Amino acid sequence: MASEKLIVGSDGKKRCFWCGEHADYVAYHDREWGFPVDDDHRLFEKICLEGFQSGLSWLTILRKREAFRRAFSRFDFERVARFRARDVERLLANAAIVRHRGKIESAIGNARRALELAKEHGSLSAYIWRFEPARRGRGAPGRVPLPEAVALSKDLKKRGFTFVGPTTVYSFMQAMGLVNDHIEGCAIRSRAERARRAFRRPAGVVQ
C-alpha cells in the first residue's frame, strides 16, 4: 500500500519514506525532488552527482553539494570539459568532495560529452527531455527503472558517458522532474505535479 511508504514528519506532513527526518533530506524532498528542471548546468550537476553517489548515500552527496559546485566550476560543463590532469590531482586533494579518481575523471569526460550533446541538440535540456515518459503517473514501484530510463542510459553510454546505468539514470529522472514519483498522499506530490503541468518543455520536445 502507498500509505506504508509515507512517513509523518514532526510538522504533521506526510512525505515519501526516503526523506526521513533529516532536515537536509526534507528540504531537498520538499523543494527540489520531482520538480522539473531545464537548466543545463543543474542537469549536468545531477548527472555527475548521481555518479559520485554510487556506493554512498544521497545524504552524503547532498551535504557535500556546495563543495562539489565550487570544485567543479558550478558544473558549467564548458569549463569542466577543459579540466586536465592537474585538475584531477587538485580534485583528489580536495577533502570536501568525494575523492575517487574514477568518478572525477568520469565527470570530466561526461562534461565533454555533454558539450557535444548541447551542440547537437541546442541544449542538454533539449536532449534530456526527449526521454520524458508519456504517462504522467508514478513510475514503476520499487524504483525499477522505466523503459525510458533504460533507453536514456543506453544512449548516454553509446555517446561515451560513464556512471550512467539504468538505475542511476532513473534516479536522475525522478529528481529532475521527468517523472513525478512522489507517493500518493505525499504532501508535495500535487505541488510537483502542478509544476510539471506548468513547465515549458524545450523547443522541439513533444509531449
As annotated, the active-site residues are: 28, 50, 58
Q: DSSP class of residue 133?
A: -
Determine which helix (DSSP H) or strand (DSSP E) holds 158, and give its type and residue range. helix 147-158
Q: Cell 512522489 belongs to which residue? A: 182
**Summary count for the chain: helices (H), strands (E):** 11, 2
**What's the grid cell of residue 58?**
544521497
**Phi, psi (deg, nearest 5) at residue 12:** 85, 0
Burial class (CB in 10 A: 0-12, 13-18, 19+), 74: middle
